[in-house]
């Protein structure tokens, strides 16, 4: 029987053999990559940056009009807009126009959102009812509703009702389709669980369907602000005795560009006020859902 003798030199040669590249890579610890975390700036810095952008933009606008970089007749200038703003509020008609536009926007926003959400939630009760109504709703959504504004003015008159009707029409269908999307997203297993525990159909609707669709309805509130405001302004463009839309139309026809900018700034302020109100309403609704 033959034996193999391994000398110390042979053992040293074996031990000194370099490891393969794959083994070396596996033995080398990899650097752990972490998700970059951006530190939030203090609110004072954020506000200062926002104010700086505003002041810089206004100053650049004034300088461009002063040195002829832009045509001041068509673009106006901040100093002229400020003077017109003071005159607009001192004339006494400003608050009447603002109140008129705000009321029509708010009423159209409320009627369109609540009515559309109610209609969308009602589709849960019957699939056949939803299948019958859905083509009509989609058809109404595809219609250029602003093109029907003159007809709405003729039917409802030149008063506030016609502006509310246009604002409601713009927000109704969007709210309906959004609420219906929430209804279709409800988990059927959740409904089976409620029924297995002895819940009635009304209890399932009130305890499961409505809370599940609240986030979907909340998501459309901010969009409806712009849609309701657009409907009110378009109605005032066509025929109205009051409102910021009427002011913009009159200023455009008489080439009072500074007055146009004044009305636009007031509209922007109005939309910010409504945005803050909707944000508060969202917090209230979310707390109601969580509790």
CATH number at residue 254: 1.10.3720.10
**Inside any domain, residue 19:** no
| For residue 225, pLDDT beyond 70 | yes
For residues 15-32, average pLDDT: 56
Could you tell me if 80 and 111 lie in one domain?
Answer: yes
> What is the pTM assigned to this prediction?
0.77
User: Is the pLDDT confidence value at 5 over 60?
Assistant: no
pLDDT level of residue 146 (50, 70, 90 thresholds): confident
Average pLDDT over residues 213-226: 88
- Residues 56 and 114 both lie in one domain: no
Asked if residue 140 belongs to a domain, the reply is: yes
Asked if residue 51 and residue 113 are part of one domain, the reply reads no
**Least reliable range by pLDDT among 6-20, 32-46, 194-208, 238-252:** 6-20
What domain range is 67 assigned to?
43-73
Checking if the pLDDT of 237 tops 70, the result is yes
The answer for residues whose C-beta is within 8 angstroms of residue 223's C-beta and 6 or more apart is 174
What pLDDT score does 135 carry?
86
pLDDT reading at 206 higher than 60: yes
CB 167 within 8 A of CB 152: no
Whether residues 176 and 103 share a domain: the answer is yes
**Mean predicted confidence (pLDDT) in 82-98:** 87
Is residue 110 over pLDDT 90? yes
The rounded mean pLDDT for the chain is 84
- Residue 5 lies inside a defined structural domain of this protein: no
pLDDT single digits (tens) 30-84: 666 676 777 888 888 999 999 999 999 999 999 999 898 988 888 889 999 999 9
Is the pLDDT higher at 291 or at 4?
291
Average pLDDT over residues 79-90: 90
pLDDT of residue 159: 85
Looking at the structure, tell me whether residues 223 and 151 fall in a common domain. Answer: yes
pLDDT of residue 288: 67
pLDDT at 266: 92
pLDDT bracket for residue 222 (50, 70, 90): confident
């Amino acid at each position: 029987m033959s034996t193999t003798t391994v000398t110390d030199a042979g053992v040293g040669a074996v031990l000194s053999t370099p490891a393969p590249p794959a083994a070396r890579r596996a033995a080398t610890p990899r650097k752990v990559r972490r998700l970059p975390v951006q530190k939030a700036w203090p609110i004072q810095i954020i506000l200062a940056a926002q104010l700086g952008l505003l002041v810089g933009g206004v100053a650049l606008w004034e300088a461009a009009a002063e040195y002829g970089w832009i045509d001041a007749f068509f673009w106006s200038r901040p100093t002229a807009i400020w003077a017109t703003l003071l005159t607009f509020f001192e004339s006494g008609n400003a608050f009447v126009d603002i109140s008129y536009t705000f009321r029509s926007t708010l009423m159209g926003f409320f009627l369109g959102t609540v009515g559309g959400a109610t209609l969308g939630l009602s589709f849960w009760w019957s699939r056949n009812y939803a299948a019958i109504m859905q083509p009509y709703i989609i058809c109404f959504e595809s219609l250029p509703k602003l093109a029907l504004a003159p007809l709405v003015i003729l039917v409802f008159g030149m008063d506030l009702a016609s502006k509310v009707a246009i604002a409601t029409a713009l927000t109704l269908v969007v709210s309906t389709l959004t609420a219906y999307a929430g209804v279709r997203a409800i988990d059927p297993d959740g409904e089976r669980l409620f029924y297995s525990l002895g819940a009635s159909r009304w209890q399932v609707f009130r305890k499961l369907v409505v809370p599940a669709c609240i986030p979907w309805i909340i998501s459309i509130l901010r969009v409806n602000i712009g849609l309701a405001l657009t409907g009110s302004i378009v109605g005032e463009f066509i025929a109205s005795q009051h409102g910021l839309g009427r002011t913009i139309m009159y200023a455009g026809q008489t080439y009072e560009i500074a007055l146009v900018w004044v009305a636009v700034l007031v509209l922007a302020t109005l939309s910010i006020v409504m945005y803050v109100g909707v944000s508060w309403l969202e917090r209230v609704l979310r707390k109601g859902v969580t509790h």
